[in-house]
Amino acid sequence: MSKEVATAVKTICTQCNNDRSRMMDIVRAVQEQFSCVSDEAIDVIARQVSTPRVEVESTVSFYTFLSKTPKGKIVIRLCNDIIDRMNGFDVIANAFKQELGINFGETTPDGKISLEHTACIGMCDQAPAALINNVVVTDLSSDKVRSIVKTLKETGDPQKLVSRLGDGNNANDLVKAMVHNNIRKKGDVVFAFSEFTPNAGLEKALAMSPVEVINEVNTARLRGRGGAGFPAGMKWEFTRNAESGEKYIICNADEGEPGTFKDRVILTELPDRLFEGMTIAGYAIGAENGILYLRGEYAYLYDFLSQMLNERRRQGLLGTDILGKKGLNFDIRIQMGAGAYICGEETALISSCEGLRGDPKNRPPFPAQEGYLKNPTCVNNVETFCCVVSILDKGAAWFSEIGTKQSHGTKLLSVSGDCQSPGVYELPFGITVNELLKEVGAPNAAAVQIGGPSGQMICKDDFNRTICYDDLATGGSVMVFGPERNILDVVDYFMEFFIEESCGYCTPCRAGNVLLKQYLEKIIDGKGEPCDLEVLQDLGETVKTASRCGLGQTSANPILTTLKNFRSAYEALVKKSKDGMQPSFDIQAVLQESQDIAGRKSVHFS
C-alpha cells in the first residue's frame, strides 16, 4: 500500500480521536475516499484505534455499504423491494445492465461505476428508485436509465443527475433531492405543524420538573411508534431511574422495514420538532447526549440535518444552559448507518453506534439499564419524539382524545403498492383497513401487508379490522396488493429479504429462514405435498420462538400469516405423492455432475 493511503487513513482515524467507538465514522470515511476498506486500511485502523484487527474487519464485512474490494467511484444501488418489483424493476434492471455492459455485483472495466441491488431505500411511494452514491433517483423508466448512465459517463458526478427538485425541504439547498414528500393526509399530532408554535413544547416541559414531564407522557399513554408499541413514558422512567452512568437518548431513524418511509418525511419536513422532542427527552431523563442514528440510505439528508442542529445550537436550543435554564445541557450528534436492516432493532442499533457489527445484544440487561457503551440508554422512534412535542404543548388530555381507548393519538402510515395515491397518511388509531383503502384509492385490494414483511398479510375478510396496538399493530408500513398479484411470490421475496438481512448469530434465524424459503419454493414449484404445509407451520413457529431478536421472531410472519389468511393459495398447489417419492428430488439433475466427471452414465438411473 502506498504511503499516502496509510497517511490518509491515519488522518481519518485521528480526526475521530482514534476512538474505537467511532468505527462507523472511520470506515465510512475510508470507504468514501478509497471506494473500499482494504486489508491494508483495516491494519492501519486497527493499530490506530488499538483494537483487534478482526473487530474492524467484522464491522466492514457486516454492512452492505462497506466493502473490502474496490468499488467504482459511483455506486448505483437499485432498490429491489417488492413494490419496485411490481413497478417494473426487471425492465429497469435490464436497462442498467445493458447501458453499463455489466451485471449486478460488478464494476465497469474502467473501474468507474458499480451496479448493485439493495433492499428498501424508503422510496416505495415513488418506485422504482435507486441510490446513486447519495443521490436518490425515483420513478425510474428505461428512458431515464439511459439518460442517467449517459450523464454519469460524461460527467462522473451523480449530483449532475439532479434536475427537478422535490417539494418542501427536498428543494432546500442542502438537500437538493428529487424526492417527493407525498404527504397525503395531515393529522392533528404530527403534521399539523402550522398549528404549533416552534419549541412551545420544550418551553412548557422546562417549566415542569423532569418527573412531571414523564408523568405527562405516561398520562397520554404514548406508545412507541416504531412498531413494538412499548409505553414511551415507562421507558423514560426506567432510563431515568437507572443508577449508574451517563445517560443517552437515541433516536432510531433507521427505518428499514420495507414499505416504510414516514420517517423520511419527518426528517425532511419536521427535523426541528424531532430535535425538540429529543431535547425534551434529554431533560426528562437527565441525559446530556443524544444520537440520531440515520440510515445510510438517507445520507442525502445529512448536511441539512447537521445545519438544523447548528441552527438550534445558535438559538440556544441545544448545547449548554438550554433556553437559559442553568445546568440544562443537551446536544445531539448524527450517527450514520451503512445499510443494515437489523440495525433498526434497538440493541443492534446501539451496537452500530458503538462502532461494532450491528449484532443484537442479549436482553436483559435492557438498554434502559445498560445500553450505549454500557450507559443507560433510551431509544425511541422518530415519530415518537414528534408526538412528545405535541403532548407537552397541548397536554396529555388533548392527546388521549385522539384515537382509540387503548391506542392514543395518530399513526403515520406509509402506503405503497397497488393504490392510486401512495404516500404518507396521518390517521387516528382505530381506522379500519377498509376506510384506509378508501382513502388511498384501492377499492380492489386483495391483500394488505400491515407492518411490513415482519407484520402480517391480511385478506379481504379482515379488512374491517382496525389499525391500533390491540388489533393490527404497525410501525407504519402498509403495502397494498391487487387481485392480479401472486401472494406466494410476495412471500417468497420477503423470505429472501430476511435471509439477506439476518445477522447470522443464531441458528433458528440463520438456517431456519433458508429452510422456510426452500419449502416455500418447493410448494410454489408445484412439488409440495399437503404435509409440507404442516412442516412449514412447525418450522415457522420454531424460528419465531427460538430466535434471539426481533428479526427472527418475526421473519416467519409472511409465511405464518399467509398460511392462515391465504391457505387456499397454498392448498391449490400441493398434491399428495402417490408412490411416496419426493417430486422435488430430480435424480438426473443431481447425478449430472458426477456423470460428467466420470464420463459414464448411471447404471441405476438411465
Partner 1 sequence: MEKPKVATTSLAGCFGCHMSLLDIDDRILKLIELVDFDKSPVDDIKEFTGRCLVGLVEGGCANEENVRVLQDFRKHCDLLISVGDCATMGGLPAMRNNVPLKECLEEAFINGPSVYNPSGKVPNDPEIPLLLNQVYPCHEVVKIDYHIPGCPPSADTLWEILVALLNNKPIDLPYELIKYD
Chain residues in the site for partner 1 (CB under 8 A): 529, 531, 577, 579-582, 584-585, 587, 590-595, 597-600, 602-605
d(CA 382, CA 302): 15
Report CA dihedral (399, 202, 223, 562) to the nearest 10 degrees: 100
Q: How far is the CB of 584 from partner 1 (least distance, A)?
A: 7
Strand order in the sheet with 456-459: 183-185, 423-428, 410-417, 477-481, 447-450, 456-459
Question: Are the CB atoms for 259 and 416 separated by under 8 Å?
Answer: yes
Shorter beta-carbon distance to partner 1: residue 434 or 542: 542
Cell numbers found for residue 451:
407492518
Q: Residue 547 and residue 505: Cα distance in Å, rounded? A: 9
Residue whose CB is less far from partner 1, 397 or 531: 531
Residue 600 Cβ vs partner 1, minimum distance, rounded to whole Å: 6
Closest to partner 1 by CB, 108 vs 537, is 537
- To partner 1, the closest distance from the beta carbon of 483 in angstroms equals 35
Shortest separation between residue 549's beta carbon and partner 1, angstroms: 24
Residue 543's nearest CA partner among 492, 500, 508, 497 is 508
Q: Which residues contact 489 (CB under 8 A, 6 or more apart)?
A: 524
Of 62, 63, 6, the closest CA to residue 33 belongs to 6
In the beta sheet, which residues pair with residue 459? 447
* 105/580 with CB nearer partner 1: 580
Smallest distance from partner 1 to CB 517, Å: 15
CA distances from 295 to 58, 228, 302 (A): 19, 19, 10
- In angstroms, rounded to a whole number, what is the distance separating the alpha carbons of residues 336 and 251? 12
Residues 6 or more apart whose Cβ sits within 8 Å of residue 596: none
Query: What would you measure as the largest C-alpha separation in the chain, in angstroms?
Result: 89
Burial zone of 578 (CB within 10 Å; 0-12 exposed, 13-18 middle, 19+ buried)? exposed
What cell numbers appear for 592 in the block? 449430472
Residues β-bridged to residue 478: 415, 450
Q: How far is the CB of 511 from partner 1 (least distance, A)?
A: 11
| Between 14 and 594, CB nearer to partner 1 | 594
How many other C-beta atoms are found inside a 10 Å radius of the C-beta of residue 336? 18
> How far, in Å, CA of 550 to CA of 227, rounded?
11
Which residues fall within 8 angstroms of residue 559, CB to CB, at 6 or more apart? 491, 495, 516, 520, 536, 540
CB of 504 to partner 1, least distance (A): 15
Q: How far is the CB of 512 from partner 1 (least distance, A)?
A: 14
Nearer to partner 1, 228 or 535 (CB): 535
Other Cβ atoms less than 10 A from the Cβ of 230: the count is 15
CB of 535 to partner 1, least distance (A): 9
Nearer to partner 1, 421 or 584 (CB): 584
Q: Which is nearer to partner 1, 572 or 590 (CB)?
A: 590
Residue number with CB closer to partner 1 (327 or 581): 581
Q: Write down the least CB distance from residue 602 to partner 1, Å.
A: 5
Q: Which three cell numbers stand for residue 471?
A: 388489533
Q: Using the minimum distance from each CB to partner 1, give the nearer residue, 420 or 589.
A: 589
Quote the cell numbers at residue 385. Answer: 419524539
The dihedral of CA 469, 495, 357, 304: what is its sign?
A: negative
The residue (of 102 and 515) whose beta carbon lies closer to partner 1 is 515
> Cell 417527493 appears where?
180
Q: Which residue number, 33 or 584, has a Cβ lying nearer to partner 1?
A: 584
Smallest distance, Å, CB 595 to partner 1? 6
Min dist CB 499 to partner 1, Å, is 17
